[in-house]
Structure 1
Amino acid sequence: MSPTIIGVLIVSPIQLLDLSPIDLFAMMTRSYFEACRPPQPLLDLSIPDKDLKIIYVSSSGPNTVAQTTANVGITINVGLDDPAVAPRKLDILLIPGPPPFSKPDEKSLEFVRRHVNAGVDLLTVCSGILVAGYAGVLDGKHCTCPRGIDHFQKEFPKALFKDKRWVRDGRLWTSGGISNGLDLIAAYIKYRWPGPLPDTVLKMADVEPRGQDYGTNMAGMRAWWAWHLLKVWIGGLVGRNKKSD
């Protein structure tokens, strides 16, 4: 059986919370299970390390350090032109989110286009949708993005945005806000590896996947933000008045 190869495209700076769901893949491996010392039937569920590989990719090239908003560096394994991550080499391409109003470099966008054309499973977390959108692979596709940031819909008017925690359209899987990446990857591993392995990993990680629908609609979410901003503004006024006294 050929190994499953996961490429993680880093367009710096990213948020660690966007990247963190990658650990759900790593937790399926034999070495992780062995470190946890589960009963043998559970250990037998795990994937041999040689059959699942995670590669960190960036335009900055191999052995560089990609910055994160939490001031932690991510060591990049390969550059965009490395044969190890050529089209049809990757099974999965995961894109954690860059700053929400940034525009990725053209080489990274071309990397995404080539892999989508080659049939990769494309997974985006939070503002990672920007990279897919500017690469032009969202046109006519159902997808989602971080709530309350209208910029995304305006930038990619041909995309069919839905107000969901995560959305799947064929090989395209997109998530909304930061923590929704866990919901997305939980759904994806259950889809790709049907059976008890994903359920075991999710229980070990104490990840309880939420449904695709939010608890409140967009109107409710916007009302919460309006009330929250009002409280902050009033609190600021009160604080300034106390200082003046």
Structure 2
Amino acid sequence: MRALIIEDETAAARNLEAVLREVAPGVEILATLESVAESIEWLQSNPQPDLLFMDIHLADGDSFRIFESVEITAPVIFTTAYDRYALEAFRVNSIDYLLKPINAGDVRRALEKLRRLTSGERLDYGTRVRGLASQRQEEVFLVHVRDKIIPLQRDRIAYCYTANEKVTACDFDGTVYPMDKTLEALQSLLPDRDFFRANRQFIIARRAVKEIAVWFGSRLTLHLTVETPERIVISKARVPEFKEWLRAIHPTE
């Protein structure tokens, strides 16, 4: 088995390597990478490993950003000091979620889980795990605002927006909340029936669409019931998909 380690703490990486040598001496460690950028470059330039060990907090951002740039079909074992990302990890090929400090028992159980999942067959984990994940969706998001935690109901969200690596959600009253998830992670947590990924910056709620205008280049622009920080444009390529989504609302159109 060929494994890739993504971990920016030297001590943690060495500990994991030592544990792997102890519990699975046959595992070949292809590389140990320390950042999102380095990981994306490596994964784009090399064949997929058989298994990834991936820390969540890296020097240049959280490792979920890697999945935005690279299609990863190999199983992932997340290693982190935080337990609040477990659900998000489940959405992106995770077969286990190990809390630091990691010991031999943790890794042995994770590898045994991997063995049971494969059952002698090579599987496309990207498809399998995302399929399982699609059955679960968040109904309430816990938003950290200064020294408070505010529950944000899913059906109160008018749109989600990303700019300068920051993600926010706006409710139907126009209140904007900082989110600790990427737009891609939010997309996986919001039901397709009610939310649409308009472009790289926006996810919009069905109930928030006020009017649609034809724009030059066969594109569309959307106006919502609340103000948005910039114009929402649907590209020509996405127009058919968007119209199909709208037909689910108005089947007679």
Q: Which has the higher strand share?
A: 2
TM over 0.5: no
TM-score (norm 2): 0.33
Say which structure, 1 or 2, has more relative contact order (CA 8 Å, 6+ apart). 1
TM-score (norm 1): 0.34
